[in-house]
Structure 1
Amino acid sequence: MKEEFTLSIFSENHVGLLNQITNVFTRRNLNIESLTTSESAIAGIHKFTIVVFSTREEIEKVAKQIEKKIDVIKAFVLTADEIIHQEIALYKVPTKALLDGNQIEGLVRQYGARILEVTPEYTVIEKTGHKAETQELFEKMDKYGVVQFTRSGRIAITKSKAELLDNYLRKMELDRQNVN
């Protein structure tokens, strides 16, 4: 049975690595639901956060294939109960819609969103939350004429006390010392 998994992939930042990683999913006919990349807390290391629906067995194989890439340090497979995650959404609505009857302003308050910019032509609203929350707000605001809408990919941190990569690197160092 397919379920949602989040892969946290740590790597050096080299040109072409994103293409190599996405090719692993393409070859296995897996659709990437969300992909976000950024620097990690460790200098020189980047983090890819990828959301995919798959079976546990299949996603574990994907993680092992990704780890074979020369620039990849480690890939972790995580479930929803192992992470804390958010997305950010931006909504552009006509300022006139904001001023007419305050329905949009009420939605902004109700959903814990915030107004980022107001011009005579448009207003930009920001909402952070899970995909379902940002989508629900879009559907409610679209009745008043959303001009543009965009949502980021998932960003996630683990619920563990330490960064998984730190633990992995410490273990690798201990293993290396024990061999010598």
Structure 2
Amino acid sequence: MEDKTLYTVTIFSENTVGLLSQVTSVFTRRQLNIETLSVSPSAIKGIHKFTITVYSNREDIVKVVRQIDKRVDVLKSYFNTDDELIHQEIALYKLSTPEFIKIGSAEALIRRFHAQILEINENCVVIQKTGHYAETQALFEELSELIGVLQFIRSGRVAITKSKIERLSDMLQERERKNSSL
């Protein structure tokens, strides 16, 4: 990807039906493919947080964030690069129990990848790994090579900024100051 950087776009909004469709259409119109998407309530009551990763150049991501900010139900959106964030994703791996038991180094593998076993029964073993994409992918590749993976799922990125408080809190405080001085 020439001149493309992985950006994390964070959008704060009310929990409104149809907003996800409106947001994704902004990326589609700019021909930007969303890599990951995660939506959850934020630390601020009544406010939801969208976390979207996308490869883009700076000029396009600035335009996308401006367009998203124009949506009525969007309080504020931001973009960050990886060095400005603390981020993780979670991955689940379903393996055959008989095959898993055959690898003598199963415990060492789990420890080396800082993973944990969530479920084990006579048919399958489910392993969980939290980390960055490269880490969850490395475990997937090793398990695939060793014994095969029956099922695999990876979450979208969850991220928080390295700053002391949520950026939306600063914006809401400033808005409150302006409103009270009127």
Instruction: Please tell me the TM-score bracket, short chain as reference.
Output: over 0.9
Q: 5+ unaligned residues in a row in structure 1: which ranges?
A: none
2:166 to 163, 168, 180: 163
Q: Deviations over 1:27-81 (max 9, x none)?
A: 0000001100000011110000000111111101100100111110000111111
RMSD: 1.0
Deviation at 1:101, TM superposition (A): 3.2
More divergent stretch after superposition (14-23 vs 103-112): 103-112
Aligned to 2:105: 103
Q: 1:58 maps to which residue?
A: 60
Structure 2 unaligned residues grouped into runs of 5+ = none
Select the residue among 22, 45, 48 that pairs with 1:46: 48
Count of equivalent residues: 179
* Offset of residue 103 of structure 1: 3.1
TM-score by length of 1: 0.96
The SS at the match of 2:122 is: coil
Q: Work out the percentage of aligned pairs sharing the same amino acid.
A: 55
Where do residues 69-108 of structure 1 align in structure 2 (5 Å cutoff)?
69-108=71-110
Distance 1:64 1:86 in 2: 26
State the match for 1:31 in structure 2.
33
The amino acid that maps onto 1:116 is L
Residue identity opposite 1:163 in structure 2: E
State the 1:174 CA deviation: 1.8
Are residues 102 and 41 of structure 1, via their aligned partners in 2, closer, same or farther at CA, if it must alter by over 3 Å? same
Partner SS, residue 139 of structure 2: helix
> Normalising to structure 2: TM-score of the pair?
0.95
Q: Distance in 2 between matches of 1:101 and 1:59?
A: 46
Mapped partners of 1:47, 1:4: distance in 2:
19
